[in-house]
Amino acid sequence: MNSEYDETTNPALTGIKGLCPRCQRGHLFTGYLRLATSCEVCGLDYSFADPADGPAFFAMSIAAVPALLFALWFQFTFEPPLWMHLIITLPLTVGACVVLLRPLKGWLVCSQYFHKAEEGHIDPG
């Protein structure tokens, strides 16, 4: 595989797997959510990557609807006290968000690389 952008490469799949956006062999992360400084295989510097709050926003948005549906079903089926929601519904919601964070962060970082995203600026033209 060459070191340039391959048209057949999918940034979502590459990011979800946590692989380098250039070579698809090196690792993107050193921990669960901590980005590596560079790829150990091709040397790509990951300083271009700034997903900011994007992964958290998407994770909360994706997890919110199923969490709400579960909470409503749980409430109307069993009519539990509030503390039951705190020990069942809340951890499930937080857990779903945490599970989604890494693949979403990888996808956003790889998308920034593939689409050559840069900071916006005003062209006085």
Amino acid code (one letter) for 106 = G
Alpha carbon 70 to chain centroid, angstroms: 23
Q: Which residues constitute the domain of residue 54?
A: 11-114
Query: Is 2 inside any structural domain?
Result: no
Q: What is the pTM of this model?
A: 0.84
Alpha carbon of 11 to those of 15, 16, 18, 43, 73: distances in Å? 6, 8, 10, 18, 36
CB count within 10 Å of CB 51 equals 20
Q: Is 121 a domain residue?
A: no
Using a CB cutoff of 8 Å and minimum separation of 24, what contacts does 16-20 make?
A: 16/103, 16/106, 16/107, 17/106, 18/102, 18/103, 18/106, 19/106, 19/110, 20/44
pLDDT at site 87: 97
Distance of CA 117 to the CA centre of its chain: 17
Q: What is the pLDDT of residue 116?
A: 86
Domain count of the chain?
A: 1
Q: What is the pLDDT of residue 2?
A: 44
Does residue 25 lie within any of the structural domains? yes
**DSSP code string of 33-54:** SPBPSB-TTT--BGGG---TTH
54: nearest Cα among 24, 33, 37, 31: 33
Q: Is residue 87 part of a domain?
A: yes
In a domain, 124, yes or no: no
pLDDT at 9: 77
Residue 3: inside a domain, yes or no?
no
For position 119, what pLDDT does the model report?
73
> For the chain, which ranges sit under pLDDT 70?
1-8, 120-123, 125
